[in-house]
Structure 1
Amino acid sequence: MRKSEAIITTENFEKIMWRTTSSPVNYPDALAEMAAHQARMQAGTGKELIWLLEHPRLYTSGTSARAQDLFNPDALPVYEAGRGGQWTYHGPGQRIAYLMLDLNRPHGDTPPRDLRRFVADLEKWIIATLGMFRIAADVRPGRIGVWTTDPLSGEEAKIAAIGLRVSRWLTMHGVSINLAPRLEDFSGIVPCGIRDYGVTSIQRFRPDVTMAALDHAMKATWRDIFRQTPQDAP
């Protein structure tokens, strides 16, 4: 574990670790760590893990990504993610939460092996997190992710994304919430295949919100939605 990481645990079934990495993590390294941890979970030697991190500026393609939806004007690195969905952007100022969880058992009110309900509860988690900063957000029929009204343009805009990969009911990848990323970098792709709407960030609503405050809100609302209370590890 890096010196910049901290771990907290929760008491619900078995302990769930929360790990935070403060310095940007290269995307291939994150993929390798997720795959290794999922293998440990399959072998019965790994606990459930929520990993909070940031990436350097880059684009990722899901299994449904179309080549014509990548413009990449700044020639940023491009990686195949191995998850569902289409194109996404990651970069500093965007909080990533990688979820390595076992859906063979319930999480809060989410019953075992109910992926649709689990995703809906992840949406509730993000919406509740944004609500901690008095940002009204919701989901929109036919559009993936969490949406709000941009305070500068007055138009609908995406503020968070969800993309999972599930193997034997063990999850990888997770969610991303825009705190203060370079929004212009999203112009290098058609985010999630949705052409008619833009993206926004928490910073446009609340410039004072820090990444630490966002992390605190995510942990608090995870407890509320999934009834798993974070505790500092000794």
Structure 2
Amino acid sequence: MNESKWWPRPAPYLEVWEAMRQYTEARDSQTPDEIWLVEHTPVYTLGQAGKPEHILNSGAIPVVKCDRGGQVTYHGPGQVVAYCLIDLRRLGIFAKEYVSLLESVAIQVLNELGVNGASLKPGAPGVYVPGDNNQLAKIAALGIKIRNGYAYHGLALNVDMDLAPFAGINPCGYEGLQTIDVIGCGVAADVVTAGNLLAVRLVQAFSGYHQTVPA
């Protein structure tokens, strides 16, 4: 796997999405996997099967319908997105296992940052922490696309951001879902530190799989 790299911050969503698709379409069995770390300009993204009714009030924030799985989410400054361009077939990873890997790494990173109580929520992909009124609040979201065994899109972790735009949508298609960031959990953190740690742990997780490269 190549080393992870940061895109210039903040990065427009459409620019990065197009680059991901081009990389995926051009790659073959010898192409190294990459992890791109991105902090986006404000944008709502709606998954391939996403329902527009989950966008309540987009205001001045653009809405982009993309090709990942999942419903609607928000990307913006203070959130790190790790786009994982991975040859799943070469690593022998199935889709459900891949989702579990991303969630496990997110929980590991949150624990290392000092965020307590990170967990999963049955039937709702992503990572959650205790929020208000004994409800779970979402702190990390997943959205993936697999084409011919190659995965792209990835994992978004809320670090230190303005959470207000999440009120303009039903986050991930769930009405009233609370969202939170690392700072809101009482932990001092910044996007670069959290992103670099996330990339290191992702690389370590993928390195645990035997790569089979055709001769």
TM-score of the aligned structures, taking structure 1 as reference length: 0.82
* Paired residue total: 207
Q: Does residue 80 of the first structure (1) align with residue 85 of the second (2)?
A: no
Query: Structure 2 counterpart of 1:126, which letter?
Result: A
Q: After the TM superposition, which parts of structure 1 deviate over 4 Å for at least 4 consecutive aligned residues?
A: none
Q: Which runs of 5+ in 2 are unaligned?
A: 209-215
Q: Does 1:25 align with 2:6?
A: no
Residue 154 of structure 2 corresponds to residue 174 of structure 1:
yes
> TM-score normalised to the size of structure 2?
0.89
Which has the larger share of strand? 1
Deviation string 1:144-194 (CA, Å, 9 cap, x unpaired) is: 2111113x6653100000000000110110010000121110011111111
AA paired with 2:27?
Answer: M
Instruction: Provide, for residues 95-142 of structure 1, a one-character-per-residue CA deviation record: whole Å limited to 9, x for no partner.
Output: 011111000122xxxxx1411111111110000000002212111111
How do 1:1-234 and structure 2 match up within 5 A?
15-42=1-28, 44=29, 46-106=31-91, 112-135=92-115, 136-150=117-131, 154-227=134-207
CA distance in 2, matches of 1:120, 1:55: 25
Contact 1:70 1:190 (C-alpha < 8 Å) held by counterparts: yes
**Per-residue Cα deviation, 1:212-234 (whole angstroms, up to 9, x for no partner):** 22023213422553346xxxxxx
Tell me the amino acid that sits aligned with residue 102 of structure 1.
Answer: D
SS in 2 for 1:163: strand
| Counterparts in 2 of 1:219 and 1:30: CA distance versus 1, 3 Å | closer
Maintained 8 Å contact 1:61/1:88? yes
1-side partners of 2:33 and 2:5: how far apart?
Answer: 11
| Separation in 2, partners of 1:216, 1:154 | 31
Structure 2 equivalent of residue 231 of structure 1: none
Distance 1:23 1:55 in 2: 7
Q: In 1, are the aligned partners of 2:85 and 2:151 still within 8 Å (CA)? A: yes
* Distance across 1 between alignment mates of 2:199 and 2:21: 24
- Cα pair distance change 1:17/1:39, threshold 3 Å: farther
Q: Secondary structure at the match of 2:27?
A: helix
Quote the residue 1:5 is aligned against: none
- Considering fraction of residues, name the structure with more helix: 2
